[in-house]
Amino acid sequence: MKPMCGFVAVLAITLAAPAVAQDAGAQAFGMCKACHTIDKGGRNGVGPNLSGLFGRKAGSVAGFNYSSAMKTSGIVWDEKTLADFLASPAKKVPGTKMPISVSDPAKRAALVAYLKTATVK
Ligand code: HEC
């Protein structure tokens, strides 16, 4: 006896849905992109490249023409100094050339969290 064995393989391909949760921080960075690159070795634009931001002294990217206010601010970028600066650049660094602020605290917190990881790439 030779049993006829038919094997039907059904291959179901399920594509994992991307995380539904929006990355609010990455989205908020959209308004910074006009002036800043964030990738390592990225060019300076209207604003300096932001790669390696955390732990770096303010005003220290080579080749970028900072305001003297930024260069002499004595700031070292961390969560706190960055949040303060983004809340009101002109208050944190009077005389800075950076013209925009992020006034919404939730948006600012998400943005700082995003920058913390995105600037180490
Ligand atoms: C219209 C252009 C522009 C936009 C938009 C902008 N920036 Fe800037 N940014 C600048 C300029 C110009 C400087 C340099 C300021 C100075 O020298 O006083 C700067 C400086 C900075 C610095 C200090 C960097 C360093 O090397 O010390 C940080 C941090 C920063 N910006 C973050 C942001 C973030 C985050 C956003 C988005 C919310 C943003 N910027 C949006 C123009 C911009």
Q: Is residue 93 part of a domain?
A: yes
> Which residue segment(s) compose the domain that 81 sits in?
24-118
Q: Is residue 70 part of a domain?
A: yes
Q: Is residue 59 part of a domain?
A: yes
Q: Is residue 35 part of a domain?
A: yes
Q: What is the pLDDT of residue 32?
A: 98
Q: Is residue 105 part of a domain?
A: yes
What is the value of pTM for the model shown?
A: 0.86
Q: Which residues line ligand 1 (CB under 6 A)?
A: 31-32, 34-36, 46-48, 53, 58-59, 61, 66-67, 69-70, 77, 82, 86, 96-100, 102, 111
**Residue 31, domain CATH:** 1.10.760.10
Ligand 1, atom 29, residue with closest C-alpha: 82
Q: Is residue 37 part of a domain?
A: yes
Calpha distance 111→106 (Å, rounded): 9
Q: Is residue 77 part of a domain?
A: yes
Contacts of residue 38, Cβ cutoff 8 Å, sequence gap at least 6? 29, 49, 50, 51, 115, 118, 119, 121
Digitized pLDDT (tens) for each residue of the chain, 121 residues in all: 555 555 544 433 333 333 423 489 999 999 999 999 999 999 999 999 999 999 999 999 999 999 999 999 999 999 999 999 999 999 999 999 999 999 999 999 999 999 999 999 7
Total structural domains within the chain: 1
Calpha distance 50→59 (Å, rounded): 11
